Structure 1
Amino acid sequence: VRIAKNPVPVLLLAALIALVGFQIDPTIPVESSESAFVPSDMPAKINIEKVTRVIGATSTADLMIQGSRITDLDTVKWMAGFEEYVQSRHLEITGSSSIATYILEYNNGRMPETQAELDTVLLKIPDSVKETVMSDPMCGLIRFSTIDIPMDRERGIKEQIIKDIEFYEPPAGFVVQPAGDFELFTSLMGAMSESKDTMTLLGFIFVFAFLILVYRHLHAVSPIIPIVFVVGWNAVMMYIIGLTYNPLTATLGSMTIGVASQYTILVMERYAEEMEELHDHHAAIQESVRKIGTAITVSVLAPFFVFSALCLATFPIISHFGVSTLIAVGFSLAGSIF
């Protein structure tokens, strides 16, 4: 009731925190590295780290080349030149391999001068070796080995290599593009960042459209206001505790809208009923909170404690989702009742 009698300072503070949240949300890191999703003491991960310490990083940046015949002399020469060009421009790249690499290796480091000579060298290369860089005569692989780098930096390297391809243009009729994990996980980072915002926006649009359709009055959008605040508060809390976005926590915005909307709508409905009977805003707010506040609190705390179990998971991707869910549920309760 005290808040209802003097709501402006509280609303301004809530709006300010939400605004800060929307501003810092893009700065929250997006984690798409599969190694960050599993426990640090997982035997398989420990073994991989041991191998990495002995032989170095095993990360690769793969490019797929497709065209009429990748073993044409001009194409092989282009691949060899392109590999040298890319390695000279990026310190993170430590080596490369392709069919051109093996042709040089099996020809004493010399590039064949004619197609017939090149075909002869190809016959010397074992099929088991060729299969690592060629799936068929029309499709091959250029594999760059890299030092161990974070995913955001790897994404930057991918964008630079794409520009290198545009500058060091492939032969006519050939297409060269990122492939494998190099393409998958670097694209996943951008896709998660874009899709989480899209999901949140669509969530607001769907709830807004549904409320207008059902109530056919502008006051029906009032439950959305505290939800907007809650979504902003989520980002502030994630930033404070150092939580990152991953494929599960990226759904936090839309999940918050779904959880919070049911409680804010219940409060709005109860307030409207009490207002018809009491004809006083303060009394209607007090009575509606008194009658359904406890019920809503209990209904929120029940899933709150259920989702708390996720926080105990040994897999970070699951435990982080549990923490983000608790944030969403807790702020949803605060936004609907207080």
Structure 2
Amino acid sequence: MKNKKEQKSVSSLNSTVKNMVPAVLTAISATGLGFIALYTSPVPMIQDFGKMLTIGIVISFFVGLFILIPVLFTRDHFFTKKNGKNPKVQGTSKVERLLEKITRTVISFKWVVIFLALITAGLGIWGDINTGVETDVETFMPQNTPELKDIHKLREILGTTDQVSIMYSAEHVLDNNILKWTDDMTETLQKKFPDVVVNSQSITTLLKKANGGKVPENPKSVINRMPEDQLKLFVNKEQTEGVITVGIKHLEAKNLKRFIGYLESYVGKNQLAGLTTTVTGKSVLDVEMVSSLTTGRHKMTLIGVGLVFLGLLAIYRHPLKAFIPLLPILFIVGWSGGIMYLFGIAYTPLTATLGALIIGIGTEFTILIMERFYEERKKGFASMEAIIIANKKIGRAVFASGLSVIGGFSALLVSDFVILSNFGMMTLLNVFFALLSTIIVMPAILIIFDRFVKVKKGKLQAAEE
């Protein structure tokens, strides 16, 4: 027969697998659905970020299930004291007493807690809508790097280091009428956009230099004498495509996008019949990339909320139980946006992913609290006692998990890259909000909505911890 120590170890193992593993599986499933929202970004970098986060949580679950639980069982089964008692964990009683005190206070003022959460989150969402977006990629890197200083110095000398290109194509781009259009476009761009365009060059620029400042009446004779390497900068070998290079001042992505729109409109209005034009270049690609990274944050957040809700609805088959874990997370999204607006922190391509990220992290905490709450309700405990037990027992684990996340992301704070340090700071703040919302707001929500969730109660029994 098994001795008491063996029986207790096996009982603990069975209880953990039976009660905790399904709750954790539900939590990481919701977390993964939150991260899947990152896949909707048109930028491969963000998609890959979402994939790695999803892979990470799956690996963590299996490591916990097949490595951590067996290690803990082995410790309890073979390495406990002879009397079968484990060493007392220092500080456990103090932490639980503190959590119990907080929970009782929250329940006493549950409507005040919910009201304050709603008001502050609402104000935060308003602030988030009005929060600026940092789109100048040069501000993301260390400002004292030699490479950045060299770019600034070169910009002072040349007037520009950025450019866009106007590509045009026709059956023969060196026909006189197309050359006249090319010359007019090249000469008028700086006059049309004096605050942005620094210079512009095309095939007619070379022709003028070779012909005393005028486009020759017979350009073919001049072109035939030009070096091929010089000619191919503006016209392809088949002479069916040409390009006008436009040097521009350094602009943030928002202003650059506006200029590109004006330029496309101007070129389109002055386009010759039979001529196809396109505004392109690295600057155009850069502005599209940064815009895609930053403007889709609200869509990713909403998609994340929707996916998590549908996933929990499929698991619980109860709309309210699917919505309860998400409500505290919606508060966090508002609080985070409010903090960024209040302290003038602009969104970057990384912080734009915080909505989906916090949905994934935060729902794990709230689901664990809710699962334990309804577990105690099924045992026959009243809602007050059930939430106190849940917050005391799971709250400590949630704090430990949250502090480990905070510790990991704290490393980003020392990065020389502003984009990384800001992302680390806002992630730490959001995890802190997740802890605050889980321990303080979630109990109030569970108590208020408890009457609408029917629980099949069993006989009241003491929970073995």
Match of 1:67 among 165, 170, 173: 170
Letter of the structure 2 residue corresponding to residue 61 of structure 1: V
Q: Taking structure 1 as reference, are residues 249 and 135 closer, same or farther at Cα in structure 2, changes over 3 Å only? A: farther
Find out whether 1:48 has 2:132 as its counterpart.
no
Query: In structure 1, what is the equivalent of residue 295 of structure 2?
Result: 194
Query: In structure 2, what is the equivalent of residue 103 of structure 1?
Result: 207
Contact kept in structure 1, 2:159 and 2:198, CA below 8 Å: no
Query: In structure 2, what is the equivalent of residue 234 of structure 1?
Result: 336
In 2, the alpha carbon distance for the partners of 1:229 and 1:336 equals 11
Query: In structure 2, what is the equivalent of residue 282 of structure 1?
Result: 384
Q: More displaced, 80-89 or 210-219?
A: 80-89
Q: Taking structure 1 as reference, are residues 2 and 148 closer, same or farther at Cα in structure 2, changes over 3 Å only? A: same
Contact kept in structure 2, 1:32 and 1:188, CA below 8 Å: no
Superposed displacement of residue 203, structure 1: 0.8
Contact kept in structure 2, 1:62 and 1:182, CA below 8 Å: no
Letter of the structure 1 residue corresponding to residue 255 of structure 2: R
Q: Taking structure 1 as reference, are residues 73 and 26 closer, same or farther at Cα in structure 2, changes over 3 Å only? A: farther
The runs of at least 4 consecutive aligned structure 1 residues that moved more than 4 Å come to: none
Letter of the structure 2 residue corresponding to residue 199 of structure 1: M
Letter of the structure 1 residue corresponding to residue 272 of structure 2: P
Query: In structure 2, what is the equivalent of residue 243 of structure 1?
Result: 345
Q: Which residues of 2 match residues 298-317 of structure 1 at below 5 A?
A: 298-317=400-419
Give the length in aligned residue pairs.
334
Q: Cα RMSD between the aligned structures?
A: 2.0
Find out whether 1:223 has 2:223 as its counterpart.
no
SS of alignment partner, residue 29 of structure 1: coil
In 2, the alpha carbon distance for the partners of 1:329 and 1:68 equals 61
- TM score, norm. by length of structure 1: 0.91
In 1, the alpha carbon distance for the partners of 2:373 and 2:356 equals 26
Contact kept in structure 2, 1:33 and 1:151, CA below 8 Å: yes
Contact kept in structure 1, 2:170 and 2:274, CA below 8 Å: yes
Q: Taking structure 1 as reference, are residues 37 and 224 closer, same or farther at Cα in structure 2, changes over 3 Å only? A: same
In 1, the alpha carbon distance for the partners of 2:147 and 2:236 equals 29
Superposed displacement of residue 135, structure 1: 4.3
| Consecutive unaligned residues in structure 1, runs of 5 or more | none
Query: In structure 2, what is the equivalent of residue 163 of structure 1?
Result: 265
Query: In structure 1, what is the equivalent of residue 273 of structure 2?
Result: 172
Superposed displacement of residue 278, structure 1: 4.4
Contact kept in structure 1, 2:329 and 2:363, CA below 8 Å: yes
In 1, the alpha carbon distance for the partners of 2:319 and 2:171 equals 62
Q: Taking structure 1 as reference, are residues 126 and 12 closer, same or farther at Cα in structure 2, changes over 3 Å only? A: farther
In 2, the alpha carbon distance for the partners of 1:185 and 1:327 equals 30
SS of alignment partner, residue 296 of structure 2: helix
Contact kept in structure 1, 2:328 and 2:437, CA below 8 Å: yes
Letter of the structure 1 residue corresponding to residue 346 of structure 2: T
| Consecutive unaligned residues in structure 2, runs of 5 or more | 1-103, 441-465
Letter of the structure 1 residue corresponding to residue 438 of structure 2: S
Q: Taking structure 1 as reference, are residues 257 and 73 closer, same or farther at Cα in structure 2, changes over 3 Å only? A: same
Superposed displacement of residue 78, structure 1: 1.3
Match of 2:186 among 73, 83, 88: 83
Query: In structure 1, what is the equivalent of residue 125 of structure 2?
Result: 22
In 2, the alpha carbon distance for the partners of 1:140 and 1:309 equals 50
Q: More displaced, 261-270 or 322-331?
A: 322-331
Q: Taking structure 1 as reference, are residues 333 and 155 closer, same or farther at Cα in structure 2, changes over 3 Å only? A: same
Percent sequence identity is: 29
In 1, the alpha carbon distance for the partners of 2:378 and 2:183 equals 80
Per-residue CA shift, 1:40-72, capped at 9, x if unaligned? 111211222222233333222322223333222
Contact kept in structure 1, 2:325 and 2:366, CA below 8 Å: yes
Letter of the structure 1 residue corresponding to residue 133 of structure 2: V
